[in-house]
Amino acid sequence: MGNSNQDDLLTQLASGGAPGNDDPWASLTATTPQHAEQEKARHDEKLDKLLNRINDLTGGESLEGGSASQAPGSESSTVVEEGDVEEGDVKDAFVPLEPDSFAAAGLTDSEISALALKYLLGIGNATGRQVTDQIKLPFTLIDELLRRLKDERLVAHRGAATMNDYDYELTDFGRERALRHAQHCTYSGSAPVSLKDYIASVEAQTIADQHPSPDDLKRAFSDLLLSDKMLARLGPAINSGRGLFLFGPPGNGKTSIAERITYAFGKHVWIPRVLGVEGEIIRLFDPMCHVEAPLAENEGLLDQRKIDKRWLRIRRPMIAVGGELTMANLEVSHNPTTNICEAPLQLKSNTGTLLIDDFGRQRMSIDELLNRWIVPLEKRYDFLNLPTGKKLEVPFDQLIIFSTNLEPRELVDDAFLRRIPYKIEVLDATESEFRELFKMMAPKLGFEYNEAALTYLIETHYRPINRPFRCCQPRDLLLQIRSYCLFHDRPLEITEEYFDFAVENYFAVM
């Protein structure tokens, strides 16, 4: 074997190498294995995608030459063009990027110093990175701030910490300073976002730029049975991003429709945790109204993306209020003990939907509510009163939905109706729709659909007395039967006997 290889080698050298090759040694040069070339191509492709993703987040130009433009009026945010990011990745129109200085964040050294000192006053001692996690600003900025506070003898090193950090505590002088700050305002959480940056974020994520298609509406209402005629009426109203009246008899799904309208818009928006206005702290994020939707955890460089942690990514807000609504809910509320303010409902619902359910049954008078909102509905901005007496202009950017069982003309005058351009009546279901609702609900509640029993229900309990078909009744009657079966330890089934029992209970006073 070895002699044969040597003979082939000598033959090639003697004949001048391989045919068509001027260099006889070229044919003997080592070549890259095919599997190595394929692996390198896959690696290059992954690297290109990673670099493009990082450039999208940081506002730099991608390898294909695309770019992310800066949000108007904001030094620390970007607007990401639709289609720049692949499906399953971030597709938000607005991405807040962390500031590289306190000035870029719209803050002063004194404001951040006060937050750090109050935090240390409450917790006793903390590392620089713990202070960073609390205030939600980059560690480089907080580390430099803490060093200055140490030079001013407001804080002292309690000991060394990992990763070139220190454990800090207040000095006596620092504790005195922190107590003075706490007397003015006890807040010591995330650094506030300026009103200018918040307004820029609302403009970038405005609901007016969302134009849901018929497919978007069908997806949003996929768990409801809505006719094509109803979808055709809802579509333009939702696209307008302005006011909408839903009225009609009770039990036909007005609230269910209103709650799902938000699903037709873009899924996520970014909002500040708190706003800082004229020295006042206004809480905007409310876990009772907002649902967090954090970015997915990734490995490698994507974990180091420079997102401004003073902002939260949430599902596009859908806030519903009913008879409990008062005028106080529509104004900035101030806690005199802590000196922390709470944003009103319309501010919390910006870029989303605000549902006024059971309109006409609020604790406040209708005229009072209408007078409060007649200008914001027309101009798309609102004025709020701060505790200092200063008036604040803020965006009024949400789809307002009024849901009522009463006729709109009986509630409001023509001047207000003009500012609610869409009035949609939600009618009773037809018999075919009523049957279809039973088909939809039966398997969801563990029943096997029984057409004969349903026909008995309609012929016995509906037609003889002209009882209207309400959209909520299939669910409610099946729940009555389910509870009856579970109580008596019987199999879940739909029978004429069970329908008689359910009707007797459900329609006793109706």
pLDDT at 262: 87
Amino acid 33: pLDDT: 52
Using the 3D structure, point to which of 191, 224, 254 is the last residue of a domain. Answer: 191
Specify if 268 maps to a domain.
yes
User: CB under 8 Å to 406, separation ≥6 — which residues?
Assistant: 247, 359, 360
Q: Are residues 238 and 120 in the same domain?
A: no
Q: Which domain holds residue 155?
A: 109-191
Residue whose C-alpha is closest to residue 434's, from 416, 415, 457: 457
> Which of the listed residues 397, 425, 453 is the one where a domain comes to its end?
425
**Secondary structure of 413-458 in the HEC alphabet?**
CHHHHHHCCEEEECCCCCHHHHHHHHHHHHHHCCCCCCHHHHHHHH
Residue 3 lies in a domain: no
* Nearest Cα to Cα of residue 200 among 305, 285, 93: 93
CA dihedral of 77, 143, 292, 86, whole degrees rounded to 10: 50
Question: Do 408 and 437 fall into the same domain?
Answer: no
Counting Cβ atoms within 10 Å, is residue 478 exposed (0-12), middle (13-18) or buried (19+)? buried
End-to-end CA distance of the chain: 101
CA-to-CA separations, 335 to 151, 264, 342, 343, 380, in angstroms, rounded: 35, 37, 8, 12, 28
Task: Looking at the structure, tell me whether residues 336 and 286 fall in a common domain.
Answer: yes
C-beta separation of 16 from 24 below 8 A? yes
In this structure, are 217 and 307 located in the same domain? yes
- Position 72 scores a pLDDT of 42
The pLDDT score that the predictor gives to residue 82 is: 38
Does 319 lie in the same domain as 225? Answer: yes
Cα-based distances in Å from 484 to 472, 479, 490, 505, 509:
19, 9, 8, 11, 20
Please report whether residue 502 resides in a domain: yes
User: Rounded CA gap, 232 and 248, in Å?
Assistant: 18
The partner residues of 96 in beta bridges, in order of sequence, read 77
Note whether 93 and 80 are within 8 A (CB): yes
Please state, in angstroms and rounded to a whole number, the distance separating the CA atoms of residues 145 and 322: 47
Angle between the 128-135 and 139-151 helix axes, to the nearest 10 degrees? 120
| Positions in the chain whose pLDDT score sits under 50 | 1-2, 9-10, 13, 18, 25, 28-30, 57-75, 80-90, 299-304
Residue 15 lies in a domain: no
187 and 219 together in one domain:
no
> Which phi and psi angles does 382 have, rounded to 5°?
-135, 160
Compute the radius of gyration of the chain from its Cα atoms: 32
CATH number at residue 257: 3.40.50.300
Residue 401: beta bridge partners?
A: 244, 355
Q: In 3D, which of 298, 285, 291 has the Cα closest to residue 268?
A: 291
Task: Determine the pLDDT at residue 405.
Answer: 86
Specify whether 304 is located in the same domain as 361. yes
Q: How many domains does the chain have?
A: 3
What are the residues whose beta carbons fall under 8 Å from the beta carbon of 261, sequence distance 6 or more? 220, 234, 238, 318, 353, 399, 401
How high is the pLDDT of residue 375? Answer: 84
CA distances from 328 to 195, 322, 384 (A): 22, 14, 12
The CATH code of the domain that includes 488 is 1.10.8
Q: Are residues 414 and 467 in the same domain?
A: no
Q: Which residues 6+ apart lie within 8 Å of 52 measured at CB?
A: 62, 63, 64
Residue at 200 is within a domain: no
CATH code, domain with 170: 1.10.10.10
**pTM higher than 0.85, yes or no?**
no
- Residues across the chain: 510
Whether residues 371 and 458 share a domain: the answer is no
Residues 6 or more apart from 294 whose CB is under 8 A from it? 312, 313
Antiparallel, parallel or unpaired: β 422-425 and 340-342: unpaired
